[in-house]
Chains A and B, each alone.
Chain A
Amino acid sequence: MVSIDGALLDFKQLERLAAGDSVLHRLDPRAKVLATLAFIVSVVSYGRYELSALIPFFIFPAVLIGAADLPAGYLLKKIALVCPFALLVGIGNPVFDRAVLMQLGPLEISGGWISLASIVVRAALTVSAALILVALTGFPAICRALERLGMPAPFAVQLLFLYRYIFVLTEEGTRASSARELRSCGKKGRGMASYASLLGHLLLRTWQRAERIHMAMLARGFSGVFHSRTKWHFGPAELFYLVGWSALFLALRLCNGSELVGALVTGVFR
C-alpha cells in the first residue's frame, strides 16, 4: 500500500537527484522552468480528440532523462501514481461520447475512448515534465527562478516554507493519526468527529510553530527581505536550451509529427 509517509520519503529522493551534477543540472533554473512551461502549454493546447500529435512530445522527457542520467524506472513509477487520477477525470467520456471517430478494421473506436486516452497521455506528459524539472533543478531553485521571473516574492517565500514544513507537518499528522488508530482498537473510533478535532489540533500546532519560526527568524536579524545567494547566469547554453526546445514544441504543434513519420514510412513501402 502506498502511504503518505512513503510517498514523501520518495519526494526526498527526488530532491537528492537534484543534487546531481550534469550539464542539465548546471543550467540556469530559469531556462529549465521556461522550457518546461512551454512544453506544458504546447501539450495542453491540443483539442480533446488529439492523440497521435501528442506522441512525439515524449521526446522531451526521454531526452532529459537520458542526458541527465535520471533513474527512468523510478520516474515512471511516480508518473504511474498519477495516472489513476487522470483516468478518473476521463472515465465518463466513453459513456457519454459514443460518436465513432476511428475505424480499425471491424473495431469502432468512439470519441469518448480517444479523449480518455488523450487525457491520460497528457497527464503522463505534463507530470513527467514537472517531475523531471524538480529532479534537475530542486524545488527551492525553482521557487527562486519563478520569483526572478516575476512571481511576487511573498508567493515564493510561501512555497519555500510549504516545501520545508510539509515534511514536519506530515510527520505530526501521521503521529496524531496513528495515535488515534491505536486507541480505536480496530473499530471506527468516533468516526469523522475525531478527525475534525485532530485536524483542528494540527492547525493550532502549525500556527504555534509558525510563531516560533518567526521568532527564530527575527532573532537572526530578519527584516522582511529574503536574501538569496544564487548566482544567475543566462548565457548561450541557457538560450540554446530554451530556444531549441521551444522551437521544437512549436514545430510539433504546427504539424503533426506522427502523421509526418507515418506518411514517410507508408511512402517508402508504397
Chain B
Amino acid sequence: MSHHIVEVKGLRHVYPDGTTALNEVSFRITHGESVAIIGANGAGKSTLLLHLNGYLWPSAGEIRIGDFALSKGTLPEVRRTVGMVFQDPDDQLFMPTVFDDVAFGPMNLGLSGAELESCVAAALERVGAGHLAKKAPYHLSGGEKRRVAIATVLSMSPDILVLDEPTNGLDPYARRQLIGLLRDFRHTKIFTSHDLDMVLELCERTIVLEGGKVRADGATLDIFRDEALLAECRLEKPLSMQGCPVCGRGTGSAYPR
C-alpha cells in the first residue's frame, strides 16, 4: 500500500460515565511522517490511540486508516496496518516464550512453517533481540521487553507504528538504544510521550492535546519554543532546550540537529 495515511475527522468520545474524553479532534498524518501526540495527564492521549486500531469506537466523527474508513468490516485490515505498542510490555508479551509471542500475530494472519520462522527471526533481528527468542518474557529486562514488544508488532509488517510512552521506565542506555532503533524505522510513526526530549529527536511534527481538544498542531520546534502554550497545557520545554543549569547560558536555544 502506498498511502499510509491516518485521518481523523471531528472525533468525539464520551465514556459511559458521561466524561467527554475527546471533542472535535481532527488531524491528518501522511506517509512516513513521525508525529508526537503530547499533553498533560488525562488530556485524552491514550483514548485517542485506542481509537486508531478500533478498540474504542467514536461517539461521533470518522477515522480513516490508509484506504479504509474504520468500521467493523475493515477492522482486521486496519489492525494489521496499525501496529500498536502498548505502554506496559507485560500486557503485550503474553505467550510462554519470546518466539511464540512474536509469532502470535503472523500466525493469526495465517503464516506457518519456514515462512513464519523467517518472519519472526527477521523481526527479532530488527530490534537486536535475536538471542532472546527462546527466553520467557519474565526473564527479560525492561529494555529487552520493550524491544521484543516492538518486534511482536513488526512481525505483522505494519505500515503505521503507534507507540504509547515507548521510553517510559527505561534506563538512559536502553532509552538511547530505543530512540536509535525508532529513528531507523521508515514507517509512519505516532507517539505519545512525556519524554519531550525524545519527541524532539524523533518527531518533526507535534500535536498538543488539552482537555480532549487539539490545542496546537505544528512543527515540533515551533511548539516547544512557545512557552506560553506549553505552560497553559501543563507542559514544559524539553530539558535539552532549557538553559545550562550551571552557567545559565543557552536558554531558549534551538536543539542542535
Contact with B along A206-232 (1 / 0, CB 8 A): 000100110111111111000101000
Which residues of chain A from 112 to 144 have a CB within 8 Å of any chain B CB?
138-140
Stretch from B21-29, B131-139, B236-244 contacting the other chain: B131-139
Interface residue? B104 (CB, 8 A): yes
Complex Cα gap A167–B136 (Å): 11
B-chain residues with CB within 8 Å of residue A140 when the two chains form the complex: 96-97, 100
Interface residue? B68 (CB, 8 A): no
Determine if A220 and B138 form an interchain contact, defined as CB atoms under 8 angstroms apart.
no
- B115: shortest Cβ distance to chain A, in Å? 12
Complex Cα gap A218–B103 (Å): 14
Assuming A164-B95, A229-B100, A229-B103, is B108 touching A215 (CB within 8 A)?
Answer: no
Determine if A221 and B86 form an interchain contact, defined as CB atoms under 8 angstroms apart.
no
B-chain residues with CB within 8 Å of residue A12 when the two chains form the complex: 136, 138-139
- Nearest CB to that of B152 among chain A residues? A220
Complex Cα gap A111–B92 (Å): 55
Interface residue? A261 (CB, 8 A): no
Contact with A along B73-110 (1 / 0, CB 8 A): 00010011011101010111011110010011101110
Complex Cα gap A219–B150 (Å): 13
Complex Cα gap A160–B90 (Å): 15
Which residues of chain B from 39 to 87 have a CB within 8 Å of any chain A CB?
50, 53, 55, 76, 79-80, 82-84, 86
Interface residue? A237 (CB, 8 A): no
Assuming A12-B138, A12-B139, is B94 touching A221 (CB within 8 A)?
Answer: no
Determine if A164 and B86 form an interchain contact, defined as CB atoms under 8 angstroms apart.
no
Complex Cα gap A213–B84 (Å): 12
Determine if B94 and A223 form an interchain contact, defined as CB atoms under 8 angstroms apart.
no
Interface secondary structure of B, over-half rule: helix
Determine if B90 and A168 form an interchain contact, defined as CB atoms under 8 angstroms apart.
yes
Interface size range on B against A? 35 or more
Determine if A164 and B137 form an interchain contact, defined as CB atoms under 8 angstroms apart.
yes
- A57: shortest Cβ distance to chain B, in Å? 31
Interface residue? B118 (CB, 8 A): no
Interface secondary structure of A, over-half rule: helix
**The one of B50, B79, B107, B136 that contacts A229, using a Cβ cutoff of 8 Å:** B107
A-chain residues with CB within 8 Å of residue B83 when the two chains form the complex: 219
Which residues of chain A from 161 to 181 have a CB within 8 Å of any chain B CB?
161, 163-165, 167-168
Complex Cα gap A15–B97 (Å): 11
Interface residue? A19 (CB, 8 A): yes
Assuming A12-B138, A220-B79, is B94 touching A213 (CB within 8 A)?
Answer: yes
Complex Cα gap A165–B94 (Å): 8
Chain A interfacial positions (CB closer than 8 Å to B): 12, 15, 19, 138-140, 160-161, 163-165, 167-168, 209, 212-213, 215-223, 227, 229
Instruction: Name 27 A/B residue pairs within 8 A (Cβ), A-sorted.
Output: A12-B138, A19-B134, A139-B96, A140-B97, A163-B96, A164-B94, A165-B94, A168-B90, A209-B90, A212-B86, A212-B88, A213-B91, A215-B50, A219-B53, A219-B55, A219-B79, A220-B105, A220-B152, A221-B76, A221-B79, A221-B105, A221-B108, A221-B109, A222-B104, A227-B108, A229-B100, A229-B112
Chain B interfacial positions (CB closer than 8 Å to A): 50, 53, 55, 76, 79-80, 82-84, 86, 88, 90-92, 94-97, 100, 103-105, 107-109, 112, 116, 134, 136-139, 152-153, 156
Extra contacts, 13 of them, besides A218-B53, A219-B82 (Cβ < 8 A), are A167-B138, A209-B90, A215-B50, A215-B86, A216-B86, A218-B55, A218-B79, A219-B83, A221-B76, A222-B104, A223-B76, A227-B112, A229-B103
